[in-house]
Amino acid sequence: MQRRFCSRSLLLTLAIMGAFCLVITLTQSLAAAGRVEYTWTLSALGQGGWIGGPLFDDGSAGGGGAFSAGNGRIIAKFEPTTWTENANEQITVCFNVSIVKGPSNAFPPTLCTDPADVTGTPIKIILFGSEHIFRITEN
């Protein structure tokens, strides 16, 4: 009996410590990201994908999403990494791209949008040969 109690106590202690470490790590990563300066969305018109997230004042980007092409034959995960603002106050968002389904060379491993104005309204852009809506809103 006592041995079973020790095992359960040890497991409970390890679970509590793990949860505590997870909370600390998440809190630190959110604090490290900084203040949100802009938010962004990118939506395909028709088949494609929908992604978006925050753009932090330290140049890092959050959020993400997925893209589908060829009636689901190609599926890619897009994880935003960084963003920049040029002298004309236009925003470029860069991504890491991971192929989930389809040929490994369907997309480059990293890519960036063309610079876009911060309007808070939809702007049509061409991405991967098709029309998309790119929206950047100041926070």
Residues composing the chain: 139
42-90 pLDDT, tens digit per residue, is 998 877 888 999 999 999 999 999 988 888 899 999 999 999 999 999 9
Q: Which helix (H) or strand (E) holds 135?
A: strand 130-138
Q: What is the CA radius of gyration of the chain?
A: 20
Helical residues (DSSP H) of 1-139, grouped into ranges: 2-33
Distance CA 100, CA 80 (A): 16
Mean residue pLDDT across the chain: 80
Domain boundaries defined on the chain? 1-33, 36-138
Distance CA 132, CA 37 (A): 23
pLDDT confidence of residue 64: 93
